[in-house]
A and B are shown apart, each in its own frame.
Chain A
Amino acid sequence: MDIKEIKSIEHDVLVIGAGGAGLRAAIECSAQGMDTALICKSLLGKAHTVMAEGGMAAALRNVDKRDHWKIHFRDTMRGGKFMNAYRMAELHAKQAPDRVRELEEWGAVFDRTKDGLINQRNFGGHRYPRLAHVGDRTGLELIRTLQDHGIHQGFKTYMEYSVLDLLKDGEKIAGCVAMVRDTGQFVIFKAKAVIFATGGAGKAWKVTSNSWEYTGDGYAMAYEAGAELMDIEFTQFHPTGMVWPPSVAGILVTEGVRGEGGILKNSNGKRFMFDNIPERFAPETADTEEEGNNWLKGVDGARRPPELLTRDVVARAIMKEVKEGRGTPHGGAFLDIASRQGADYIKRKLPSMYHQFKVLAELDITTDPMEVGPTLHYFMGGIRVDPDSQMSKVPGLFACGECSAGMHGANRLGGNSLSDLIVFGRLAGIGASEYSKNLSNAPTIDNGQAEKIIRNATDILNRERGENPYLMHDELKDNMQMQVGIVRTEEELLAGIDKIEEIKKKFANVKAEGASQYNPGWHQALSMRNLLITSEAVAKAANLRKESRGGHTRLDYEGERDEWLNVNVVISKAGDGEMRVEKVKRKDPDPELKRIAQSKIEDLEKEIGLES
Chain B
Amino acid sequence: MKRLFKLWRGDSTGGDFKEYETDVTEGMVVLDAIHKIQAEQANDLAVRWNCKAGKCGSCSVEINGVPKLACMTRMNEFQEDQTITVNPMKTFPVIRDLVTDVSWNYEQNKKIKPLKPRPRDADGEYRMMQEDVDRVQEFRKCIECYLCQDTCHVLRDQQQKDKFVGPRFMIRLASLEMHPLDTEDRIPEIRDEYGSGMCNITKCCTVVCPEHIQITDNGIIPLKERVVDRYYDPVLWLWRKITGNKN
Contacts and interface: CB of A to CB of B under 8 A. Distances in A.
Interface of A: 42-48, 50-51, 101, 104-107, 109, 111-112, 115-117, 134-135, 137, 139-141, 144, 148-149, 151-152, 159, 182, 211-213, 244-248, 251-252, 351-352, 355-356, 359-362, 468-471, 474, 512-515, 517-522
A514 B43 contact: yes
A47 to B, nearest CB: 8
A137 B141 contact: yes
Contacts, number: 167
A245 B27 contact: yes
Contact of A140 (B38, B55, B101, B136): B55
B29 to A, nearest CB: 6
B162 interface: no
A515 B44 contact: yes
A213 B144 CA distance: 19
A359 B27 contact: no
B143 A140 contact: yes
Given A112-B128, A213-B50, A149 B58 contact: no
A521 B115 CA distance: 41
Most A-side CB within 10 Å, residue of B27, B44, B115, B130? B44
Interface in B114-145: 114-115, 117, 120, 124-130, 133, 136-137, 140-144
A104 B117 CA distance: 9
Interface of B: 11, 25-29, 32, 38-40, 43-58, 72, 74, 95-97, 99, 101-103, 106, 109-110, 114-115, 117, 120, 124-130, 133, 136-137, 140-144, 172, 176, 179, 181
Contacts of B181: 104-105, 107
Contacts of B56: 45-46, 50-51, 211
Contacts of A247: 25, 27-29, 32
Given A107-B179, A521-B43, A355 B54 contact: yes
Chain B at the A interface: mostly helix, strand, loop or mixed?
loop
Contacts of A45: 56, 144
Contacts of B52: 211, 248, 251
Given A244-B27, A359-B72, A360-B29, A109 B137 contact: yes
A51 B51 contact: yes
Q: 4 closest Cβ contacts across the A-B interface?
A: A245-B27, A514-B44, A521-B43, A116-B127
Contacts of B58: 42-43, 46
Contact of A359 (B49, B54, B114): B54
A554 B48 CA distance: 38
Nearest to B129: A116
Given A42-B48, A46-B56, A211-B56, 19 more contacts: A50-B51, A106-B115, A109-B140, A112-B130, A116-B128, A137-B55, A151-B106, A182-B95, A245-B27, A246-B26, A247-B27, A356-B53, A356-B54, A359-B74, A474-B39, A514-B43, A519-B44, A520-B43, A520-B46
